[in-house]
Structure 1
Amino acid sequence: MSLKKRVVVTGMGMVSPIGNNVEESWNAAKKGECGIDEITQFDASMTAVSLAAEVKDFHPEEHLEKKSLRKMDRFVQFAMVAADEALAQAGEFPDKSKVGTIVSSGIGGLRVIEKEQDHGREAGFKRISPYFIPMAISNMAAGQIAIAHGLTGLSTCVVTACASGTNAIGEAFLKIRDGYLSACVCGGTEASITPLALGGFASMKALCTGTDKERASIPFDKERHGFVMGEGAGILVLEEYEHAKARGAHILGEMVGYGTNCDAYHITAPLPDGSGAAECMKLAISDAGITPENIGYINAHGTSTPLNDLGETKAVKLVFGEETKVPISSTKSMTGHLLGASGAVEAIFCLKALEDQYLPATIHYKVPDEECNLDVIPNQGREADVTYALSNSLGFGGHNATLIMKRWEEDGNAVR
């Protein structure tokens, strides 16, 4: 059996509610800035929801040809811009036949589905756009990125609801570690701030229906009562270490562990005792060849729903101990919940936290919950000496996914 290859990160790109690239988004996260505000993309008065975490000042025509834009839903546009940023940072690949593309979306082109449904009812379904289907299907972000950059390796799309972005990165990690790919563009993208999405999530009592943006997305707070819809994309370039070194690529961090499993319990609710998510974290920790004591920071799934945050707290305690002091924060307090893109955005935040040795806060935390009594890094981020960071994503259907990343030193050697 061949030895497992080391997998490093050589590029990152992001479009988020708190910034339109990685540095803008990370600097905002360090400052504890909130991307949640009144919905501007449509008249929300017909829904029960008035707040969302929209991407702001996004002008895709500054990055993409107008002819191409007409064939791309907003979720694909986000992914294309983020991928351009990540690949520009990674640099050129001499052989693109072993460079893959695994980019996920939990829902895909819901915006264009709504638009064409309305158009069909008004003008007749013979008048539907010929670009409707390729704009709507969830795999098209991966396909469009591969086409634009000539990446002819494996191209696919993992759809596991809110775990999609994390699973995409994890599957890319495995493909590189086992030698099937030399590099992979991977991550997640989502653009589901639409009337139908908000109506659907609100009807199942999953969304925050309040009007105070400072008390809307409040993970682990006792007064939490639903998540805030966000949008955006996170894209990483993962690469086999020797391949990256041979290219002279700048290494940003190392991907060292991945775990994924299923609660097999309920279509929307997590296992109440947290055992499924706990086992997923244990799988990732074992895969990384470390112990729970090595983890210095957890980026929680932390959606701000009563069931998720309680279940995740129980899961963390099952892995790290009832009295654990491991710092854990939910950056969804700033970005809202980006569904299939959330895990990818949060993986980038973990890598930046390792690089800067700074842990972002859970902002707007006010009322402690005795059942969620973790160190949630309340309201103010902090400096910390951290070597390993863990990121959780937990999706409808019981899908759990965990990534573990490791700090990289400037001298080109992973921290040991």
Structure 2
Amino acid sequence: MGSISCLSSYGLIFKKGKESRNGSSMFPCNGLRAVEIKHLGSARFEIKGLIPSSVFSANNLFSIAKCGRIKAMASPTVSAPKRETDPKKRIVITGMGLVSVFGNDVDTFYNKLLDGVSGITPIDKFDASEYPVRFAGQIRDFSSKGYVEDKDDRCLDNTWKYCLVAGKRALDDAGLGTEVLETMDKTRMGVVVGSGMGGMSSLSNGIKALIQEGYRKIPPFTVPYSINNMGSALLAIDTGLMGPNYSISTTCATSNFCFVAAANHIRRGDADVMVAGGAESIINPLAVAGFVACRAMSQRNDEPQKASRPWDKNRDGFVVGEGAGVLIMESLEHAMKRGARVVAEYLGGYVTYDAYHMTNPRPDGLAVSSCIIKSLVDAGVAPEEVNYVNAHATSTTVGDLAEVNAIKKAFRNTSEIKMNATKSMIGHALGAAGGLEAIVTIKAINTGWLHPTINQDDLDPEVTIDTVPNVKKQHEINVAISNSFGFGGHNAVVVLAPFKP
């Protein structure tokens, strides 16, 4: 029999492999793992692997050439993805809250991004004069007044202050302030807010006290405030939310992991409302020194505002940042019953793992492209519907291209896609990055404006997708994805779209 090749709507190439005894064939797909295709009879096939079990019509997939070889049709017909229609399982975003280098107001934050303002400044939280990296996306003039009690504010780690402020502001934005919460079933409301590194300042201060003054001088909150689950715990303690509550820590992919987990709780019927996102504060001696030792950070001390330059040919590493980004995720049924304002819809998401290296991404892009594809499957979205990517894009030499290559593998045609890099202006907030970028994505959906990727002086020639260089662009978003990838090989992608009742 002649060779077979077919191009799926997911942009993957399948080629005929060796047939097994039961009639199955294993098809390698465009550098990704093989998928299994079984003949089901009546010219129908079941395809398993990177895409869900789907039934393709052979008449649509193949045309037979005179030479006897079977070739792919240009646009094979595949059954349209089915989106969730059950209002109990449809998930909408009803509130957003953040803490950022541009303050705690969502609109002010996004307007600064649209203007292409850099929030990268010299570090002054500690004496970094002897460090090879002396700048960061450091939050200044932060106030937790009205959100954290004064007695707690004096000793609470900044990571958890950011979490509490962003979380409570998100609840307020969703119309779920203190008085309203008292009328609701709090056992049906949960919290999943994570952190990549937890209360690093509390841990660092405890270590310093132990070394300099002995164990009797260690602050009593060293352990409670340094452990990763404390953000979700403190937020729930303050608000009385008694539903699912825990923290996820997958470094830079943390927030997106939290969104996926929160959505699954709603879909399963565990909760009606979930507070989800990430928080991080690591501008301290221990954390900065640790990242310096990893040799992954930019060292442009003479021009810090130009240091974070995703996809630029002269990028030399990421810039560390901090902050928090939290969403209120709610079942459509619950949101409609209480007359909530809906700002966007969460269509789906997925997580995968590289199983490759502690800090470097897989060069073949397998797990990242797989994560994108599976997130679209979970969302019921065809790749052709996606026209915006808020990229992870940290400004590292290897990571930026690995993500671009994965995007190219996942999407057959990227000519209609625009992608930008929020980190070019605020740095990399690690566990909070996905939370802040989800808010950016939602604001882009609502305003029709994409913020620029700044510092695009000399675009890497391998980047052929529109990166919105240096100047904002108008763009009506149909479906958007937001990518997050973390040290250790953790990948998470969420799919967001305008809400359509």
Bin for the TM-score computed over the shorter chain? over 0.9
Instruction: Name the structure 2 match of 1:250.
Output: 341
Between the aligned partners of 1:14 and 1:201, the Cα distance in structure 2 is 24
Q: Structure 1 counterpart of 2:318, which letter? A: F
Query: 1: distance between equivalents of 2:472 and 2:388?
Result: 12
For 1:386, the aligned partner's letter is I
Superposed, 1:156-235 pairs within 5 Å as 156-211=246-301, 212-235=303-326
Deviations for 1:244-281, whole angstroms, at most 9, x for unmatched residues?
11011111111001011001111110011212111000
**Equivalent runs, 1:381-400 vs 2, <5 Å:** 381-400=472-491
Residue 159 of structure 2 aligns with an amino acid whose one-letter code is: F
Q: Which has the higher contact order (CA 8 A, sep 6+)?
A: 1
Residue aligning to 1:98: 188
The residue type equivalent to 1:8 in the other structure is V
Residue aligning to 1:262: 353
Q: Residue 118 of structure 2 aligns with which residue?
A: 34
1:69 aligns with 2:69: no
Counterpart in the other structure of 2:220: 130
- Of the three residues 319, 327, 331, the one matched with 2:410 is 319
**Alignment partner for residue 458 of structure 2, among 367, 387, 411?**
367
How high is the TM-score relative to the length of structure 1? 0.96
The alignment partner of 1:184 has SS state of strand
Please list the CA deviations of residues 130-159 of structure 1 after superposition, one character each: whole Å capped at 9, or x if unmatched: 111111111111000000000000110011
Equivalent position of 2:431 in the other structure: 340
**Structure 2 letter corresponding to 1:121:** I
- The AA in structure 1 aligned to 2:383 is P
Partner of 1:114: 204
TM-fit CA distance, 1:324: 3.8
2:484 alignment partner, SS class: strand
The CA deviation string for residues 23-65 of structure 1, in whole angstroms up to 9 with x for no partner, is 2211111111111011111111232101100112102245321
Aligned AA for 1:39? I
CA contact (8 A) 2:368 2:491 kept: yes
User: Greater helix percent: which structure?
Assistant: 1
Q: Deviations over 1:157-205 (max 9, x none)?
A: 0110100011001110111122111010010000011111111111111
Q: Tell me, which stretches of 5 or more residues in structure 1 are unaligned?
A: none
Instruction: Write the letter of the residue equivalent to 1:184.
Output: M
User: Does structure 1 retain, via aligned residues, the 8 Å contact 2:121–2:305?
Assistant: no
Partners of 1:329 and 1:362 within 8 A in 2:
yes
- Counterpart of 2:380, as a letter, is G
Shift in Å, 1:214: 3.3
| Distance of 1:158 and 1:63 partners within structure 2 | 23
Q: Matches of 1:390 and 1:118 in 2, distance apart? A: 42
Higher Cα radius of gyration: 2
Matching residue of 2:364: 273
The answer to whether the 8 A contact 1:11-1:89 is kept is yes
CA contact (8 A) 2:392 2:483 kept: yes
Counterpart residue number, 1:5 = 89
* Residues 3-12 or 25-34, more deviating: 3-12
SS of the equivalent of 2:103 reads coil
Counterpart residue number, 2:394 = 303
Judge which range, 114-123 or 315-324, deviates more: 315-324
- Could you tell me which amino acid in structure 1 is paired with residue 486 of structure 2? G
Task: List alignment gaps of at least 5 residues for structure 2.
Answer: 1-84
Q: What is the aligned partner in structure 2 of residue 401 from structure 1?
A: 492
Structure 1 contact 388–406 (Cα < 8 Å) conserved: yes
Partner Cα distance (1:349, 1:137) in 2: 28
| Contact 2:202 2:221 (C-alpha < 8 Å) held by counterparts | no
Equivalent-residue separation in structure 1 for 2:197 and 2:124 (angstroms): 21
Q: Secondary structure at the match of 1:186?
A: strand
Structure 1 residues 116 and 257: CA distance shift in structure 2, 3 A? same
- In structure 2, what is the equivalent of residue 52 of structure 1? 136
Displacement of 1:321 in angstroms is 3.1
Identity %: 39
Alpha-carbon distance in structure 2 between the residues aligned to 1:343 and 1:305? 17
Whole-angstrom distance in 1 between the partners of 2:155 and 2:256: 27
Tell whether 2:223 aligns with 1:139: no
